Amino acid sequence: MELIIGNKNYSSWSMRAWVMLYENGIGFKDNEQQLFSAQFYGEIAKHSGAGKVPVLVDGDVAVWDSLAICEYISEQHLDGKGWPEDARERAVARAVSAEMHSGFIALRNECPMNCRAKRTIVLSQAAKADIARIDEIWARQMEKHTGDKDWLFGTFSVADAMYIPVVMRFVTYGIEVSEQSMRYINRVLASSSVVAWLAAAAEDNTIIPEDEAGEEA
């Protein structure tokens, strides 16, 4: 399989699909392209008319949306184990993943993912409300799975792939969270997929002005 992604420092949607593959030990060709460049759009256009990354290419199938890619990996490569086994847990995992996919717009706009940076930022009330809700989700899941492996649903799931880029934003902008959510952040930062992603992101010094926000901390 091949995964077309944008710059690791900035591309939060790409990171979801990448950690989903990496954390599950699934081999793939990492095709990283310079966001917004002609070559970036050329690579995507070979497989998708959407003009956005990530795109997963598996033989003659192309999947061009991060959540759809995670679903595809779970179905085709993990025998459905990308989601919790229990149907009720699975429903909650799907709900929080969908909430992430379609929401938290203020936080996403005000705090672009910028893995290598440490910034201070003045947040709107809407972004603060997004943060409070995310903290509530993480803390609830950590409480429910005390003694497990500190992923949101015990073991690594699609829900973690969806929230990991938000962890990166919280770290960059020094966003304070509850003790339980801090446990989740530390779990994410210690995971092999995130360590590998951050190491690669640190090697790229491209600056994308539209994804730079806040003041140097």
By the criterion CB under 6 A, which residues form the site for ligand GSH?
6, 11-14, 51-54, 65-67
Q: How far is CA 57 from the centre of its chain?
A: 19
Which residues lie closer than 8 Å to 117 by C-beta, 6 or more apart? Answer: 172, 212, 214, 216
> Minimum distance from CB of 85 to ligand GSH (Å)?
25
Distances, alpha carbon 16 to alpha carbons 34, 40, 53, 111, 116, in Å: 17, 18, 11, 17, 17
Please give the Cα distance from 99 to 129 (Å, whole number). 14
Tokens of 17: 């699909």
Q: Which is nearer to ligand GSH, 54 or 82 (CB)?
A: 54
Tokens of 103: 């929401």
> Minimum distance from CB of 41 to ligand GSH (Å)?
7
> Minimum distance from CB of 65 to ligand GSH (Å)?
4
Q: Could you give the 3-state DSSP secondary structure of residue 30?
A: strand
HSE-up of residue 113 (Cα within 13 Å, Cβ side): 21
Q: Which is nearer to ligand GSH, 6 or 82 (CB)?
A: 6
> Minimum distance from CB of 186 to ligand GSH (Å)?
25
> Minimum distance from CB of 63 to ligand GSH (Å)?
9
Q: Which is nearer to ligand GSH, 10 or 177 (CB)?
A: 10
Q: Strands 215-216 and 55-58, how do they pair?
A: unpaired
Q: Which is nearer to ligand GSH, 182 or 208 (CB)?
A: 208
Q: Which is nearer to ligand GSH, 107 or 177 (CB)?
A: 107
